[in-house]
Amino acid sequence: MASRTAIVIGGDTEVKALVGRILPPGQWTIQDAANNAAAWKLVEAGKFDLILTSEKTSGKEDVELLRAIRRVHPHMRVIILTDQTTPADAIAAMREHAFSYLSKPFSLTSLASMVQAAVEEPCWDDGIEVISATPGWIRLVVRCDTKTAERVMQFFHEIIDLPAAENEAVAVAIRELLMNAIEHGGKFDPKKTVEVSYLRTRRAVSCRIKDPGKGFALAAIPHAAVMNPPDDPVRHMSYREAKNLRPGGFGVLLATQSIDEILYNEQGNEVVLVKYIDPQAK
């Protein structure tokens, strides 16, 4: 008998097929629900491990369902799919401990990544603590593991309210510096956390990331691409190989190319990035 159960709301054939590929039939039972009301009746009658909402509903409607679910099953994993959203809806979903939140148009690859993470993550509860949040000022505490970082970044993709190109630039910079903080400051230790603050004004967005490490100086990290000399753009790779570090090291370099300013504190365990924007841009 299958030991785990999921609900897929709505009739999107691509979403259902994707979920069916990721959740092994011998281990999972997948039930369909026509809408949120039908899904709620199923939840009232029994416990489920995972719920995917319909992309045809609004973020606000799905957050209302999420709140109701949380009252009876606090640990159930809910992935919200929606075609109508605002940054406030995404923030509300994060505050109510949605596992992830994707608005149309989203890629099936991104959805597959979130479903796979929901299946694999141990008791999560949930790795993302919202200290305070408005669309203009968000403060989070994030567990030091890669999958939690990817979940945070999916929420930020929905929250960053900028034109597409600038949205992507800011998201890339935040992701790279967040991953640096989790890897080098937190040592991928899930018992440790990183502080993340995001601010949005009319003329700029900024993000502050503070890790639990001892800090560093740029001159002391030859394994980072930002320190490569112009005549040897991949020198850092030999340092990473010698230290048995994962492939990469482009985080700070990518961030400096994507945004306008990066400031480190004296200790080197806290960074602020700034992206200036045109207040008239839509």
Tens-digit pLDDT profile for residues 72-121: 988 899 999 999 999 999 999 999 999 999 999 899 999 999 999 998 87
* Listed residue (119, 122, 123, 69) closest to 98, CA to CA: 69
pLDDT grade for 275, boundaries at 50, 70 and 90: very high
Any idea where the domains of the chain sit in the sequence? 1-123, 127-282
**Residue 217 pLDDT > 80:** no
Q: Quick one: pLDDT at residue 149?
A: 94
Q: Quick one: pLDDT at residue 259?
A: 86
Tell me the CATH number for domain 1-123: 3.40.50.2300
Q: Which of 24-28, 248-252, 265-269, 270-274 has the lowest mean pLDDT?
A: 248-252
Secondary structure of 63-132 as H, E, C letters: HHHHHHHHHHCCCCEEEEEECECCHHHHHHHHHCCCCEEEECCCCHHHHHHHHHHHHHCCCCCCCEEEEE
Give the rounded percent of residues in the chain with a pLDDT score beyond 70: 82
* CATH class, 127-282 region: alpha beta
Q: Quick one: pLDDT at residue 74?
A: 86
Q: Quick one: pLDDT at residue 221?
A: 56
Please state, in angstroms and rounded to a whole number, the distance separating the CA atoms of residues 54 and 82.
6
Mean pLDDT of the chain: 86
Of residues 173 and 126, more confidently modeled: 173
Q: Quick one: pLDDT at residue 229?
A: 61
Tens-digit pLDDT profile for residues 4-40: 999 999 978 999 999 999 998 888 999 999 999 999 9
